[in-house]
Amino acid sequence: MQINTILDQVDLGAMALPEFQRGYVWTRNQVRDLMTSLYLRHPVGGLLVWVTKTENAEARGNHQLTAGNVELILDGQQRVTTLYGIIRGTPPPFFDGDVTTFKDLYFNLESEAFEFYGPVKMRDNPSWISVTDLMRQGIGPLIADLSARTDLQQPIATYIGRLNQLETIKNVELYIEKVTGADKTVDVVVDIFNRVNSGGTKLSQGDLALARVCAGWPDARRVLRESLLKWKKAGFKFEMDWLLRNVNTLLTGEARFVALANVGSAEFEQGHQQTEKIIDYLLNVIDGRLGLDHDRVLSGVYAFPVMGRFLSQQGGKFSSAAQRDRLLYWYVHTMIWGRYSGQTEGTINQDLDALESSGDQIDALIQQLKVWRGELLVRPVNFREWSLDARFYPMLYMLTRVGEARDWDNGLPLKAGLLGKTSGLQVHHIFPKGQLYKPAYTYSRAQVNALANFCFLTQTSNLAISDTLPEIYFEQVEEKYPGALASQWIPMDRALWRIENYLDFLAAREQLLADAANRFLDELLHGVKGVPLVEPPATVSVAEIEEPAVTEKPPEMPIDDEEEMLLNLNLWVVGQGLAEGELYYELTDPNTGEVRARLEVAWPIGMQPGYSEPVAFELEADPAALSAANEAGFRCFTSPEALRVYVQEQILSPSAEPA
What is the C-alpha separation between 305 and 254, in angstroms, rounded?
Answer: 10
Say if residue 183's pLDDT is above 80.
no
Say if residue 489's pLDDT is above 80.
yes
Q: Three-state SS for 648?
A: helix
**Phi, psi angle pair for 429, to nearest 5°:** -80, 115
- Please provide the average confidence, as pLDDT, over all residues in the chain: 85
DSSP string, 156-168: HHHHHHHHHHHHG
| Percentage of the chain lying above the pLDDT 90 cut | 47
What is the C-alpha separation between 226 and 229, in angstroms, rounded?
Answer: 5
CB 79 within 8 A of CB 90: no
Say if residue 186's pLDDT is above 70.
no
CB 315 within 8 A of CB 562: no
Query: Counting Cβ atoms within 10 Å, is residue 157 exposed (0-12), middle (13-18) or buried (19+)?
Result: exposed
What is the C-alpha separation between 44 and 34, in angstroms, rounded?
Answer: 7
pLDDT on residue 364 = 95
Task: Output b/e per residue, 32-48; b: 16+ Cβ within 10 A.
Answer: bbbbebbbeeeebeebb
Q: Tell me the mean pLDDT in the region 403-409.
A: 91
Q: Tell me the mean pLDDT in the region 435-444.
A: 90
CB 145 within 8 A of CB 126: yes
Angle at 568 between CA 562 and CA 574, to 5 degrees: 140
- Considering only 77-81, 295-299, 482-486, which range has the smallest mean pLDDT? 295-299
DSSP string, 66-96: PSSEEEEEEE-HHHHHHHHHHHHSS--TT--
Q: Three-state SS for 487?
A: helix
- Considering only 407-421, 512-526, 626-640, which range has the smallest mean pLDDT? 407-421
Say if residue 658's pLDDT is above 60.
no
Q: How far is CA 606 from CA 149, 196, 203, 579, 634, in A?
A: 49, 17, 13, 8, 9
pLDDT digit string (tens) for 523-577? Answer: 999 976 545 554 333 333 333 333 344 444 433 433 456 667 788 888 898 888 7
Query: Counting Cβ atoms within 10 Å, is residue 244 exposed (0-12), middle (13-18) or buried (19+)?
Result: buried
Q: Tell me the mean pLDDT in the region 269-286.
A: 95
Residue partners of 631: CB distance under 8 A and separation at least 6: none
Give the model's confidence band at 134: pLDDT under 50 very low, under 70 low, under 90 confident, else very high.
Answer: very high
Say if residue 420's pLDDT is above 60.
no
Say if residue 250's pLDDT is above 80.
yes
Residue, of 411 and 566, whose pLDDT is higher: 411
pLDDT digit string (tens) for 294-308? Answer: 888 898 899 999 999
What is the C-alpha separation between 392 and 376, in angstroms, rounded?
Answer: 14
How far separated are the first and last CA of the chain, in Å rounded?
A: 18
Residue partners of 357: CB distance under 8 A and separation at least 6: 364
What is the C-alpha separation between 189 and 182, in angstroms, rounded?
Answer: 11
Give the model's confidence band at 388: pLDDT under 50 very low, under 70 low, under 90 confident, else very high.
Answer: low
pLDDT on residue 535 = 39
Residue, of 198 and 172, whose pLDDT is higher: 172
pLDDT on residue 343 = 67
- Considering only 268-272, 313-317, 393-397, 565-569, which range has the smallest mean pLDDT? 565-569
What is the C-alpha separation between 551 and 234, in angstroms, rounded?
Answer: 6
Give the model's confidence band at 453: pLDDT under 50 very low, under 70 low, under 90 confident, else very high.
Answer: very high
What is the C-alpha separation between 187 and 50, in angstroms, rounded?
Answer: 12
Angle at 474 between CA 469 and CA 479, to 5 degrees: 145
pLDDT on residue 121 = 83
Element (H, E) at 476: helix 470-480
What is the C-alpha separation between 78 and 572, in angstroms, rounded?
Answer: 23
Enter the pTM of the model: 0.69
Map out the domains of the chain as residue ranges: 3-179, 199-320+327-373, 380-526, 561-651
What is the C-alpha separation between 233 and 418, in angstroms, rounded?
Answer: 20
Say if residue 484's pLDDT is above 60.
yes
pLDDT on residue 656 = 47
- Considering only 58-67, 450-459, 486-495, which range has the smallest mean pLDDT? 58-67
Q: Tell me the mean pLDDT in the region 130-140.
A: 94
pLDDT on residue 4 = 95
pLDDT on residue 201 = 45
pLDDT on residue 531 = 54
Element (H, E) at 269: helix 265-290
CB 565 within 8 A of CB 581: no
Q: Tell me the mean pLDDT in the region 154-163.
A: 92
pLDDT on residue 326 = 96
